């Protein structure tokens, strides 16, 4: 049997291997979370957006270059028309063993109708973003969302055998009084929970962000009054630091870009739905992969463009939320790169 030569893996200038690609498949969303989008977002014209076939071709090029984990995000990935065909086609890399994991971060609104098919495409774990379990507050923070619909989606995911991780952004004065309840709920449901510090991205108006920022060091200390958090060396290839909640047996993760810098172990890059590759969530360094994709050349051209881009991955981000700096650290919204 002929053994095909594998291309050299993607290694950045700081000797970090790039094994994780996050793909924002759409900039659109059916929610307007207060910390993520403004109410009157202008979305990209359709012509700028990569087709699902183009997204498949790009993701597959990354897989050939050694990416082992793909996460579909957005915007809301499950509102993109026919998005399941992308999951379906990418699932071939799971079957061939070239990919370890295909996964999705979703607001859960469309999960009830897609959960079973996601599982059928080889998706094993999903992240669902829920910041509060209070229906009124849920609509307040998402502006347009309905908690009931999301919980139905989560139930469908559980029924389909998907492992569910709940993502919650910790927001001062909004859900800080509810986090104990969320730990208990996740324990009852068998879900892991990840708490995220609000990051300074996108113009949302005035001093709002400073008011929202809640350091997770404070949150963790508060939780430890009611729960025993045992340190865990569990890692998912993402930036969260995990503990096990002894009373529930479930994990709780903390993503703390502002209080703890995790850049030294960064293994990921982010692709937008227009084919722009961002080398770091917190920096503007980007490369256009749509031009080489649409230039009509072979995959070598695309792979060369990806390699060139990775050569520019910066060492780390410099997020700061303080009073001296009024604007966001990065002007693009989180929905561009999908978190």
Separation between Cα atoms, residue 287 and residue 275, nearest integer Å: 8
Q: Which of 199, 266, 269, 330 binds ligand SAM (CB under 6 A)?
A: 199
Separation between Cα atoms, residue 224 and residue 110, nearest integer Å: 34
Separation between Cα atoms, residue 239 and residue 257, nearest integer Å: 9
Return the structure tokens found at 41. 């977002």
Phi, psi of 222 (to 5 degrees): -65, -45
Residues of the shown chain interacting with ligand SF4 in the complex, contacts defined by CB under 6 A: 29, 31-33, 36-37, 74-76, 107, 129, 142, 335
Return the structure tokens found at 69. 């984990």
CB of 19 to ligand SAM, least distance (A): 20
Q: Which is nearer to ligand SAM, 167 or 248 (CB)?
A: 167
Q: Which is nearer to ligand SAM, 179 or 196 (CB)?
A: 196
CB of 167 to ligand SF4, least distance (A): 9
Contact partner at residue 269 from ligand SAM, ligand SF4, none, CB < 5 to 8 Å by partner kind: none
If one asks whether residue 123 binds ligand SAM (CB under 6 A), the answer comes out as no
Contact partner at residue 32 from ligand SF4, ligand SAM, none, CB < 5 to 8 Å by partner kind: ligand SF4
**Beta carbons within 10 angstroms of residue 31's beta carbon:** 24
CB of 237 to ligand SF4, least distance (A): 21
Report the residue closest to ligand SAM, judged by CB: 339
CB of 191 to ligand SF4, least distance (A): 18
Only segment of 3-11, 71-79, 233-241, 312-320 that touches ligand SAM (CB under 6 A): 71-79
DSSP state of 6: P
Q: Which is nearer to ligand SF4, 31 or 227 (CB)?
A: 31
Under rule CB under 6 A, which residues in 158-197 are in contact with ligand SAM?
A: 167, 169, 196
Chain mean position to CA 82: 20
Residue with tokens 């929202």: 212
Q: Which is nearer to ligand SAM, 75 or 275 (CB)?
A: 75
If one asks whether residue 29 binds ligand SAM (CB under 6 A), the answer comes out as yes
CB of 8 to ligand SAM, least distance (A): 31
Considering only the C-alpha atoms of the chain, give the largest distance between any 2 of them, rounded to a whole number of Å: 64
CB of 39 to ligand SF4, least distance (A): 10
Q: Which of 20, 35, 62, 191 binds ligand SAM (CB under 6 A)?
A: 35
8 Å CB contact between 263 and 315: yes
Separation between Cα atoms, residue 196 and residue 256, nearest integer Å: 6
Separation between Cα atoms, residue 140 and residue 194, nearest integer Å: 21
**Beta carbons within 10 angstroms of residue 320's beta carbon:** 10
Contact partner at residue 248 from ligand SF4, ligand SAM, none, CB < 5 to 8 Å by partner kind: none
**Beta carbons within 10 angstroms of residue 98's beta carbon:** 15
Contact partner at residue 37 from ligand SF4, ligand SAM, none, CB < 5 to 8 Å by partner kind: ligand SF4
If one asks whether residue 338 binds ligand SAM (CB under 6 A), the answer comes out as yes
Dihedral, 115, 118, 122, 125 alpha carbons, nearest 10: -60
If one asks whether residue 145 binds ligand SAM (CB under 6 A), the answer comes out as no
Please report the DSSP string for 256-325 in residue order.
-TTTS--GGG--EEEE-TTSEEES-TTS--EEE-HHHHHS---HHHHHHHHHHHHTT--S-------TT-
Sites of contact with ligand SAM (CB under 6 A): 29, 35-36, 73-74, 76, 105-107, 129, 167, 169, 196, 198-199, 201, 334-335, 338-339
């Amino acid at each position: 049997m002929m053994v095909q030569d594998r291309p050299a893996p993607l290694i950045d200038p700081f000797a970090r291997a790039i094994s994780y690609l996050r793909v924002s498949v759409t900039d659109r969303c059916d929610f307007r979370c207060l910390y993520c989008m403004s109410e009157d977002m202008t979305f990209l014209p359709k012509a700028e957006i990569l087709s699902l076939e183009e997204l498949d071709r790009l993701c597959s090029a990354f897989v050939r270059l050694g990416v082992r984990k793909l996460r579909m995000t957005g915007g809301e990935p499950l509102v993109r028309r026919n998005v399941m065909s992308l999951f379906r086609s990418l699932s071939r890399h799971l079957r061939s063993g070239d990919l370890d994991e295909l996964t999705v971060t979703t607001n859960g609104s469309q999960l009830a109708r897609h959960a079973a098919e996601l599982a059928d495409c080889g998706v094993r774990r999903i992240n669902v973003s829920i910041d509060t379990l209070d229906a009124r507050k849920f609509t307040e923070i998402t502006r347009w969302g309905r908690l009931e619909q999301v919980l139905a989606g989560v139930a469908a995911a559980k029924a389909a055998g998907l492992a569910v991780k709940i993502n919650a952004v910790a927001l001062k004065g909004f859900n800080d009084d509810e986090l104990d309840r969320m730990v208990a709920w996740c324990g009852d449901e068998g879900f892991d929970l990840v708490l995220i510090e609000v990051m300074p991205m996108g113009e949302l108006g005035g001093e709002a962000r400073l008011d929202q920022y809640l350091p997770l060091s404070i949150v963790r200390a508060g939780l430890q009054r009611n729960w025993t958090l045992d340190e865990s060396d569990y890692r998912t290839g993402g930036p969260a630091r995990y503990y096990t909640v002894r009373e529930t047996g479930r994990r709780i993760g903390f993503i703390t870009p502002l209080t703890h810098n995790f850049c030294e172990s960064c293994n990921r890059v982010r692709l937008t739905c227009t084919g722009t590759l961002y080398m770091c969530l917190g920096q503007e360094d980007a490369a256009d992969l749509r031009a080489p994709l649409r230039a009509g050349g072979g995959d070598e051209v695309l792979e060369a463009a990806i390699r060139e881009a990775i050569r520019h991955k910066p060492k780390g981000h410099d997020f700061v939320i303080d009073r001296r700096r009024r604007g966001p650290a990065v002007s693009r919204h989180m929905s561009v790169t999908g978190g």
